[in-house]
Amino acid sequence: MKTNMKRYFLISVMALGVALSAAAQGSGTDYPARVELVKAQSAWFNSANAAGMTIDPLAVYHDLSFGYGLGRGDFRLQPEGNTNTLDIFTSGATSLGRGQVWGAFNYRNISAKDTRFNTMTLNLEDDLPFVVSDANVSPWKKQRYDMSMKASTPLVGDLVAFGISANYFTESGAKQVDPRCTDYEYGITAEPSVAFHFGGHTIGLSGIYRNGGVREVPVNSNSQQDQVAYILRGLGNYTDAVVGSLSGIGTFYYKRNLYGGSLQYGFGGRDLKLLAEGGYSYQLVDAFQTPTKPQRMGSTIQQKIFGKAQILAESETVLSKVTVEGFHRTTEGVEFLQELGVEWQTIGKYIRSNYDLWHLALGYDFFRKGEAGYNWMAGARAAYDEHNDKYILPASEMNYKNLTGELYAKKNWLIGEVSVLAQIRGAFRKNLEANYQYGGAEPNSVVVKEFYQKDFEYNTAGCWKAGAGVNVAFPLGGRTAMFCALEGDYLKPLNLDSKRLLGTLTIGFTF
């Protein structure tokens, strides 16, 4: 871990060096509001096709920040807990000749308290049920390194540009109360792309390949006391297990592979930009136990179709942006019937569960440009989510539909050379339908009553959210500004006796 730390620190320093040298080339102060506007202005940067950044370049920017965040209160999923996070984040975009490069690095340290029902999983996913759970309340410690980049070539023959997006992350963590674990996860994603540009039109094609792995080692600090655990299989169904003793569960590990691709069409006029894209991905995750004698614990087959459209109308003084996006994700949970000979042999494999999710979102942002990026902005966002999950045999189902809406506004005052960016936001979630029916053998188990039922209540609770924030930025000379940002959100469900408070304090630089 120390070696990794050094490596990431060096990468961060190098990224900062590149950023500072690029910063020296420009003029004017890069206030945080300008960086926000820069990211909003580039349609292709916000797509799966990096090659398009040549046609629709992201303006040069750089930032570096240190953040502290907290989450308190019981209106949350139980495995999430009450969190304290430390973040170091840096990103930047610059031109390389007529091509473009963007990169980002994030280090995150998470301390969570009062988590429950997650024995060994760093990142729970709503369509990956094959995880281990227990009922003990426990802290978790995690840290994650996440690096991303996008690069695009110049237009070759004034016709075609090539691009690549990549992401690599590693994460490690440990649960702190028996049954506990030590975990390691990595993921690597590569998205090669090409964009053909003719006239004001651009057609893009991108592919995606993702590979990931997780290793989870269960252990008890008190070796005299075995701990009850549950190997989950979906919607409250589980297999009894223990952590500890000779018969305790072994090391869990997961393999992930994803393939996909998407098509883009873009139009760039003088004041109007349009980018539409649609794509498909196919992902398989296999869960195993005991690497030396692999036993299949389940697999998921996930298929996803997605689409996104961005329309940007921009003048010297304003930017209007409409974003429509959505996806349909369907995941099949496969369970295996195995018997042990010299190795575990599969004698049956069946689709036992389905996880179906529709997500549609519509957003609108308006920016009134100004000296420090923008004078003010306002936006609205609406989203619809529909979950239809079922366990086939014995039959169980969980369905819910949520509608969420959010309004937000920011005002930027330039007082002398100090930018004061204040924001307010309000959001609501309305549940349109909620149904959880467990038909398995253990309706009164802690897994059903305490875990699935209560997290279902969270997921389907109508609630409102109010938030505010302020970001004060001081110029430090050249393009560099130092900023200090404080944000807070308060969440309150309509029919549950709980609440949630979220807050972040960030100190950073833009340059």
Partner 1 sequence: MKKYIILALSMLTVLGCTQFEELKGVSEVKPLTTGITVTTNTVDASVPRPDSYTVRFINYDEKLDISAKTDATGKVSVPNLIPGRYNVTVSAEVAQGGFTYYYSGTLTNKVITSDTSLSIDAAASKAGALVFKEIYYNGASGYYFKDQFYEIYNNSDEVQYVDGLCIGTLMPATASTTIYNWIVEDGHPENYVYLGAVWQIPGSGSDYPVKPGESIIIAQGAQNHKLIKDTSPVDLSKAEFETFIVNQTVNPDNPESVNMTLKIDFNVFGTQWLSSVFGCAYVIFFPDREFDNSTWVQPDGYTTKAKEFPIDCIIDGVELVNNATKINQKRMPTTIDAGATFTGATYTGKSVCRKIRSTKDGRNLYMDTNNSSDDFQVTDVAVVRRDGAGVPSWSPAAK
By the rule CB under 8 A, 301 interacts with partner 1: yes
CA distances from 400 to 42, 113, 129, 430, 493 (A): 35, 28, 18, 11, 16
By the rule CB under 8 A, 158 interacts with partner 1: no
Looking at the Cβ atoms of 284 and 357, the one nearer to partner 1 is 284
Q: How far is the CB of 106 from partner 1 (least distance, A)?
A: 22
For partner 1, the binding residue among 314, 406, 442, 457 (CB under 8 A) is 442
CA pair distance 409, 412, nearest whole angstrom: 10
The letter for the amino acid at 124 is L
Q: Exposed, middle or buried by CB within 10 Å (0-12, 13-18, 19+), for 27? A: exposed
Looking at the Cβ atoms of 113 and 255, the one nearer to partner 1 is 255
Looking at the Cβ atoms of 9 and 350, the one nearer to partner 1 is 350
CA pair distance 264, 164, nearest whole angstrom: 15
Q: How far is the CB of 355 from partner 1 (least distance, A)?
A: 14
List all residues 6 or more positions away from 157 whose beta carbon is below 8 Å from its beta carbon.
none
Q: How far is the CB of 82 from partner 1 (least distance, A)?
A: 30
By the rule CB under 8 A, 218 interacts with partner 1: no
Tell me which H or E stretch contains 187. strand 180-198
Report residue 493 as tokens.
Answer: 């469900």
Stretch that binds partner 1, among 31-39, 71-79, 130-138, 331-339 (CB under 8 A): 331-339
Tell me which H or E stretch contains 3. helix 2-25
List all residues 6 or more positions away from 444 whose beta carbon is below 8 Å from its beta carbon.
none
Looking at the Cβ atoms of 187 and 508, the one nearer to partner 1 is 187
By the rule CB under 8 A, 496 interacts with partner 1: no
- Tell me, residue by residue from 337 to 376, as one string, x for binding to partner 1 by CB under 8 A and - for no binding: x-xx------xxxxxx------------------------
Q: How far is the CB of 50 from partner 1 (least distance, A)?
A: 16
Looking at the Cβ atoms of 22 and 448, the one nearer to partner 1 is 448
Stretch that binds partner 1, among 7-15, 24-32, 245-253, 503-511 (CB under 8 A): 245-253
Angle made by CA atoms 327, 330, 332, in degrees to the nearest 5: 160
The letter for the amino acid at 323 is T
Looking at the Cβ atoms of 25 and 346, the one nearer to partner 1 is 346
By the rule CB under 8 A, 245 interacts with partner 1: yes
By the rule CB under 8 A, 5 interacts with partner 1: no
List all residues 6 or more positions away from 89 whose beta carbon is below 8 Å from its beta carbon.
63, 64, 65, 66, 67, 104, 105, 106, 107, 508
Q: How far is the CB of 511 from partner 1 (least distance, A)?
A: 30
Angle made by CA atoms 211, 214, 218, in degrees to the nearest 5: 170
By the rule CB under 8 A, 246 interacts with partner 1: yes
Question: In a 3-state reduction of DSSP, which class is residue 26?
Answer: coil
For partner 1, the binding residue among 257, 317, 345, 495 (CB under 8 A) is 257
Question: Do the beta carbons of residue 148 and residue 104 sit within 8 Å?
Answer: yes
- DSSP character for 136? -
By the rule CB under 8 A, 225 interacts with partner 1: yes
CA pair distance 310, 48, nearest whole angstrom: 13
Looking at the Cβ atoms of 246 and 415, the one nearer to partner 1 is 246
Question: Do the beta carbons of residue 153 and residue 163 sit within 8 Å?
Answer: yes
- Please confirm whether the linkage preceding 32 is cis (ω < 30° from 0): no
By the rule CB under 8 A, 215 interacts with partner 1: no
Looking at the Cβ atoms of 73 and 207, the one nearer to partner 1 is 207
Question: Do the beta carbons of residue 509 and residue 482 sit within 8 Å?
Answer: yes
Report residue 434 as tokens.
Answer: 């909620």
Looking at the Cβ atoms of 110 and 131, the one nearer to partner 1 is 131
For partner 1, the binding residue among 394, 430, 435, 495 (CB under 8 A) is 394
For partner 1, the binding residue among 149, 203, 228, 378 (CB under 8 A) is 228
Site for partner 1 in 178-197 (CB under 8 A): 188, 190
Question: In a 3-state reduction of DSSP, which class is residue 18?
Answer: helix
By the rule CB under 8 A, 284 interacts with partner 1: yes
Binding site for partner 1 (CB under 8 A): 188, 190, 209, 211, 224-228, 239-242, 244-247, 255, 257, 259, 284, 286, 299, 301, 332, 334-335, 337, 339-340, 347-352, 392-394, 440-442
